[in-house]
Structures are given as C-alpha cells and as structure tokens.
Amino acid sequence: MNDFEQLQKTAQEQWEMLQHSSDPVVYVGMGTCGLASGAGDVWKSIQKIKDNSKYKFQTIKVGCIGPCYFEPLLDVQKPGSSRFTFNNVDADRAKKIIKEFAFSDESKLKPLAHLGDGIETINGTKSFWELPMLKYQKRIVLRNCGIVDPENIMHYIARDGFSGLINAFEKGPEEVIEEIRISGLRGRGGAGFPTYKKWQFCREAKGKIKYLICNADEGDPGAFMNRSLIEGDPFALLEGMIIAAYALGANQAYIYIRAEYPLAIERLNIAIAQMKQAGLLGRNILDSGFNLEIKLKEGAGAFVCGEETALIASIEGERGMPRSRPPYPTLSGLNGNPTTINNVETLGTIPNILRNGGDWYNQYGTANSKGTKTFALVGKVRRTGLIEVPLGITLREIIYDIGGGTIKPFKAVQTGGPSGGCLTEEHIDLPIDYESLSEAGSIMGSGGLIVMDENSCMVDVAKYFLNFTSKESCGKCTPCRIGTKRMVEILEKFTKGTGSIDDLATLENIAKTVKNGSLCGLGQTAPNPVLTTLKYFYREYQEHIEDKRCVAAVCRDLVEYRVIKEKCTGCQRCVEVCPTGAITGPRSEPHNLDPEKCIKCRACYEICRFDAIAGDAIIIVS
Amino acid sequence: MSSLLNTLGKHFPECSKGDLIPILQHVQHQEGYIPSNTIREISEYLNISCSTIYGVATFYSQFKFNPPGRHSIKICLGTACHVQGGDFILSALQMEIGITPGSTTEDGRFDLERVACLGCCAIAPVMMVDNDIHSRLSVIKLRQILSNYE
C-alpha cells in the first residue's frame, strides 16, 4: 500500500466515524451568502452551548448547498440517524434546535429535509434532493458543496477525491486530452470553446515553459457560481488544475481570483497548504514525476480582465488591456510562453470526467453542448440560489420548476451578464445550450440568470448594463470607449423622458458599430443588452419616448408617488420617515403627499408596504 | 532605507514587474489606501516610472487614493441588486451620510464605494460594511444598520 492509499484508508475511516458518530454532529452553511444571512451569529450561539458540558457535539463548517433563499442552513446528524436540515435558522432557533432536536427524540421541531442516502422520506421528512428546487438538478461539479468541510482534505479524499488525478497519471497526458475530447466539455467561462482543443494546442506549442491559469475573476455582476464552488469545494478546482497542467505540460499554475472574494481566497490557501503536506502539490506529485506549483494572484477589480489577454497583462503587472489575437495565448501567452486559461467551473468538472470517464459525462446535455452547467438563479424569482442542471433544460423548467416562478407576471430573463441579452416569454421553451442562446441574441456566459417581472423596466436594464460596460471599457478601441458612453447618454434621455424617435436609430447604429469595431469580447458583446431589448421590447422604448411613461414605474423622472386616500390609515409612519417633509397630515386621517417636495427616495413606499399597520396606501405610478 | 522599502524587499524579493499589483495591494492593505509618496518608493524599488505605476493603479477599481474612513461601505450595484432596487439604496445612503462614492465623510466615520458585484445575488440588494455583508436591504433597514457603526 503506497502513501496515498494509506491516506485514502485513513480518510475513509474518519468519514465513516463522522457518519456514525456517537455524539450529534452539527453542520452550518458558512459560504458568503450564508454568512450574509446570519450564519456567523448562528455559529457563535452554537459554540456557546458547548460550554455546557451537558451538550457534547461536533460542529463543522460547510459551504453553500445551493438554495440561498433558505440561508442560513443548519444540519443536525443525530447518532444512529440521518442528517437533517433546518432552514432560515437564526441564533435563537439554532439553540433550540440543538437542545430540543439534537438531544431529544420527542422534539416537535420539524426539519426542512434530510440529507441521508437515498431519496425516500424518513419519518415524514422529505429528502433534500426531492425538494422542488433540487429535484430537477444534476449535481456533478457541485457534488460536495454543502456536504463536506471545505477546509479538510480528508473529507474530499473520503469522497473519491484525487481518484481522477490517479487515473490521469495512469493514462498519460495524450489520453487525458482524449478523454476530455470524448466528454464534449466546452469552456464554462462563456464562449464555449472545446476544452480539449485548448489543451492540445498548448501541449503541441513549442516552448519549455508552459503555464496554466485558472480564471476565477468572476466579473459578471449577478453571478456567483465560481465563488460558491471555491468556497464549498476548493479541492475539486485544485485537482482539476493538476490534471490540466499535467495534460498540457505546465509546471506553474496561477489562480487569478477576485479580491472581493476573501473567503474563497482563504479557503484556497488552506487547501493548497494541506495538499502540499499530503504530497499532492509541489515536486513529484504522488510519485508520478510531475511537478506543479500553484500561486494565487488577486485581481484588482477590472471586468475586462475576464478577457484572456487582458488577464495575462494584469498578471504581468500592467494595465489589463487586451492584445490582438493571434497569436493566441496557447501559443504565446504569459511572458510569451504557451498558456492555457480555463474557467473555475471547467476545471472543477475535470476530476469528475477523469474519475467516471468521458462517455459518462457525454450522456448529459444536447448534441453540441454536453454535460451540466451551474447557474446563479436570481432576481424576481421565488427560489433563488445556485443550481446545476443538464444542458438542454428549458428556461421554463429553470424558472418555474426549480425557481418556483415569479410573484408578479414574468417579463424577461437576462443571461450572460453584461455581454448577454434579455430573453422573453417567446424563448421560454428554448432548450439551453451555447448555440440556441446565441441564436436568440444572448450568450450562455458564465451562468448568471436574472429573472425579471413586470416591475422591471427593460430600458432601465439596458441603461444599467451599458453604464457598467462604459465604465469597464479599457479605452483601447475608440468604438467601445466612446460608443458605449454615447449609448448611455441616449438611454439616459429615454429614462428621463427627453428622447426622440430619431435617437432610436442612432442608438441602433452605434450599437452595431461598437459590436463590429472592437477588439475584444467586452466591446463586441457590450451592445447585446441594447440590441435584444430593442428587438424584443421595442414597445417599452416607444412608451418612454412618446408617452413619457415607464410602465414598470422604475425610471425616477417618469414616476410620481401618490397616497391612496381610501387605503391610508393615517398611521404617520411615512410622515416620520420622509426626509424632506413632503408628507403631512394629522394622525388617523389620510395623509397628503406634496409632489413638489418629494425626492422619490422610496422610504414612504417601503414602510407602507412592509408595515402591517400602514395599509399599502402609497403607490408609485407612471 | 524607508520602512516600506524594507518590507518590499522581504515580501517581494524577486523585484519583477509582475509584482507591481501585489505590491500595490500590500500597501493598500497596510495603509488603507495608496499614499502618493509610496508610489515614488515603489518606483525606486521596481525601477518603473511613477507615471506607469500611477497608470496601472488607477486602471483597477480596487485602489484608493484617499485615506479611508473608520468604516468602509461597499454598496453592491450588481445586476441582481439593481433589479431589486439597489439604486434606491445608494441614493438613500448618499443622503444619509452626505457623500458620493469615492469619498470619505468629514468626520472620518464612513467612506463609500460602489462595487460591481459582491456575489450575494440571491439575497439582494446587499452592501458590505467593513467585513460584514448586510442582505435584503431596504431604505428603512439601512438607517438601523448604519447606527451600529460609530
């Protein structure tokens, strides 16, 4: 038995011991979204209970399991029983769960679901994987997220971790590339270039020094798939990186990661240290003769660095401005050496393919887009969070079956971030793959899916994205630098009610010029949000221009706040919050709102909606 | 030799151009911003002109050139936050503390910055004060949260 087999055995034993622990085990979801929802307080309150010797139990921090709207999530595994999940836990409820549920069998507390083996219902509690949000998913890259301790290599090893790497070393580099070819895996960063081709080009390129770079600069606003994966299962990414580096012949790898993700950075540093100790990184990995060093590079905040050549410039210490291609980075990249850049999700998928085979992965997906894809399902949908689904699933299945639909009627879904477009009801039965989305005028992108309902204004959305891209444009190409700025100005006119119909033609004209006249993906795709909204929501533009109306009541200059006299209870709450004294009126009588003084800050509207005493009496109308 | 140059030698012994951004990050981590005199020191250390360094530093949104406040507010204006009313939160915030993004309040209590995405889109709108993320914000909730930071 070699050292690694010994380690596997120990990991297996530790994992078994944990599953059959004689004391309860408590797992708390401590990803960034969990922490933002209050998991930190939950964790502290649980630790306090431990001070009382009556309650002896283990606590483990896990990553995000997906349904963010349930955060904070807490699991309790009682001796001799399954792992049960509780949702929307706060510090007080956590205490109660531990004391009443973990240490008593007569508890009336009802868990949300169980995380045991199998999908059968246990004592009236459904399996987690049978919940509507999880039922339609296929979890490959996210298989460990929320299940294992991301700061413990032994958990990863116990769940078949690094067995893909061992297979890779047995196969040799060429056969690894062949396996990836069979799998049909395409780059998950957005453009969908076949992964095996990139590796092959780089492998065949001349040069002694080669580099692998993992692009973890998740810059799309509205997307957090990579953050969740790294926080929940950093070892999967690192194993994928060793396999990739081995296949293309690189001994130096970088992870270019956003500085805004401090937790992900911390977890990667811990994982790298543990792997070095276990002989899984550094010199002669697992006696294969292969050496690899992985370094972290913190991105300094520039969306354009998602573009390969800009990312390389940034690592070299320059302004992150794209260079013209060819030569492609696979021939001449970092410091002029052959370089492969892969996205986090692509690399995180690799170990699964090497463990189960390319044919296995190939069974999921459509003819040209194989496997699964993670999406950040957010916006005006009932169930928000991180999901992983087989490609070819329809938008309807994602939005309604997984997401539970919208509260107000559905209007649009935005895919692909600032480079993507807005799709409508008309596309809702579209099977999602790289080709179908680009035919509809959008792109797959890295996986943000932002759902919008009747309360979203499409002109405002277009303005939002153009504002973003105009700020992030690096300035190299004139059409992008100036064109995006001019487009923002025109869109601003529309949202202020000062636009004319002629502006629409100018807008479309500039959009096409920017698309054709830019060097990199940022400029080439920046007009997409405008072009798709013009195509699918032309009426809304017309309403803004001709009627000076914003039906969604979003554009501030086109709306007015009013009090509905019949509904107003005269509770004075809005009078108290109004910063300009625009609302007046004695208690118990309908209030008056002076439009001259109103600055449309929304404070009265919110308090009226959320407070049970006030009666939903303030409305925003256009 | 100044204390900065000393630490640079220790942390970045290779002294290569690729160290420029990590060095700027190091300085910002220590000082809270990039003081103008440090640019000169980095220039000497890496043998790169001040204007090149300034060009790189201003390209990236992470670097600040003003001293930060006691508490740093990062308001998220990602797509999900925008759709959920992040814009209103920003204007309410500006009104509340009286500054626009990129500046610090006169009493040094807060500095304000807008960021593209904090990656908490499922619980939007969000903002980060120091290292705490506050989710599902509303104009009303905002005031309560700010009162916790003195």
- The whole-number mean pLDDT for each consecutive block of 10 residues of chain A, a chain of 622 residues, reads 92 95 95 90 93 90 93 93 94 94 88 90 92 95 96 97 97 98 94 95 96 93 91 98 97 94 94 97 96 95 93 96 94 96 97 98 96 94 95 96 94 92 93 92 89 93 95 96 98 96 96 96 94 96 95 90 88 86 89 90 81 71 80
Q: Are the beta carbons of A222 and B121 separated by less than 8 Å?
A: yes
* pLDDT at residue A218, rounded to an integer: 87
Distance from CA of B35 to the nearest CA of A (A): 17
Q: Strand A113-114 and strand B71-76: pairing?
A: unpaired
Chain A residues near residue B77 by CB distance under 8 angstroms: 221
- Tell me the helix, strand and coil percentages in chain B, rounded to 5: 50, 15, 40
3-state secondary structure of B80: helix
Rounded to the nearest angstrom, the minimum Cα separation between B136 and chain A is 9
* Cβ count near A127 (within 10 Å): 20
A450 closest CB neighbour out of B83, B85, B140: B83
Residue among A142, A179, A135 nearest A372 (CA)? A142
- Start-to-end Cα distance in chain B: 38
How far, in Å, CA of B90 to CA of B80, rounded? 14
Q: What pLDDT score was predicted for residue B78?
A: 87
Burial class (CB in 10 A: 0-12, 13-18, 19+), A341: buried
> How many interface pairs between A and B have CB atoms less than 8 angstroms apart?
157
Report phi then psi at A540, rounded to 5: -65, -35
Structure tokens at B139: 């104009």
Q: Which residues in A lie closer than 8 A to residue B84 (C-beta atoms)?
A: 379-380
Mutation site for A-interface testing, chosen from B33, B79, B123, B139 by largest number of A Cβ within 10 Å: B79
Q: Give ∠ CA A162-A168-A170 in degrees, rounded to 5.
A: 110
Contacts of A224 in chain B (CB under 8 A): 117, 119-122
Strand partners, B148: none
> Residue A620 and residue A553: Cα distance in Å, rounded?
6
Q: Is A19 left (phi over 0), alpha (psi -120 to 50) or beta?
A: alpha
Of B25, B62, B139, Cβ closest to residue A602: B139
pLDDT at residue number A152:
97
pLDDT of residue B1: 46
Looking from the CA of A376 toward its CB, the CA atoms found within 13 Å total 35
Complete domains list, chain A, with CATH: 17-133 (3.40.30.10), 153-361 (3.40.50.11540), 372-453 (3.10.20.600), 458-547 (1.20.1440.230), 559-621 (3.30.70.20)
**Minimum distance, in Å, between the CA of residue A359 and any CA atom of chain B:** 34
Set of chain B residues whose Cβ sits within 8 Å of the Cβ of A220 = 79, 117
ipTM: 0.91
Q: Which helix (H) or strand (E) covers residue A619, if one does? A: strand A618-621
Residue B2 C-alpha, separation from nearest chain A C-alpha, in angstroms = 23
Angle (deg, nearest 10), helices B36-46 and B3-11: 50
Contact across the interface for B79 and A606, Cβ inside 8 Å: no
Q: How far apart are CA A371 and CA A355, in angstroms?
A: 15
pLDDT value of residue A151: 97
For an interface test with A, the pick among B14, B83, B141 (most A C-beta atoms closer than 10 Å) comes out as B83
CA distance B63 to chain A (A): 8
The verdict on pTM exceeding 0.90 is: yes
Q: Which of the 8 DSSP states describes residue A25?
A: E
Q: List chain B domain ranges.
A: 3-59, 71-146
Correct CATH for B3-59 of 1.10.10, 1.10.472, 1.10.3470, 1.10.1200: 1.10.10
Q: Tens of pLDDT along chain B (150 residues)?
A: 467 778 888 899 988 999 999 999 999 999 999 999 999 999 999 999 999 999 999 999 999 998 999 999 999 988 888 888 888 889 889 988 999 998 899 999 999 998 888 878 888 899 999 888 898 898 888 888 999 998
Distance CA A237, CA A232 (A): 10
CATH tag for B71-146 (out of 3.40.50.300, 3.40.50.360, 3.40.30.10, 3.30.410.40): 3.40.30.10
